[in-house]
Amino acid sequence: FCTDALRDAQRTGILDRACPAEELGAHLDALVLGAVTRWAGHPAGVDALTARLHHGAAMLLAAHARADARDRLRRACDRAARALRGAEPLSA
């Protein structure tokens, strides 16, 4: 599912094709597994897990996004980082 969505994003020009969709999908899988593992080992609120997942996904995708989508993803990454620090809720 994730790889198909990444391929669609590449096909529509949101993401560049420099990194294959399968490789991006593998990185997202590792990011999710790592965040869930960290959360399970030190159960904090689900808000911390959600913020960590948003932060990692936005950071990874921003690195491969076209310029017009990159700014939006960087803003999402910054918002998630502030949520991780407890400075604001993720939904803000």
Model confidence at 2: pLDDT above 90: no
> Which amino acid, one-letter code, is at 46?
V
Query: What share of the chain in percent tops pLDDT 70?
Result: 96
* Burial (0-12, 13-18, 19+ Cβ within 10 Å), 39: middle
Per residue in 4-16, pLDDT (tens digit) is 989 999 999 889 8
Model confidence at 36: pLDDT above 60: yes
Select the more confidently predicted residue: 90 or 4: 4
Q: What is the pTM of this model?
A: 0.71
Computed over every residue of the chain, the mean pLDDT equals 84
DSSP per residue over 1-34, as a string? -HHHHHHHHHHTTSB-SSS-HHHHHHHHHHHHHH
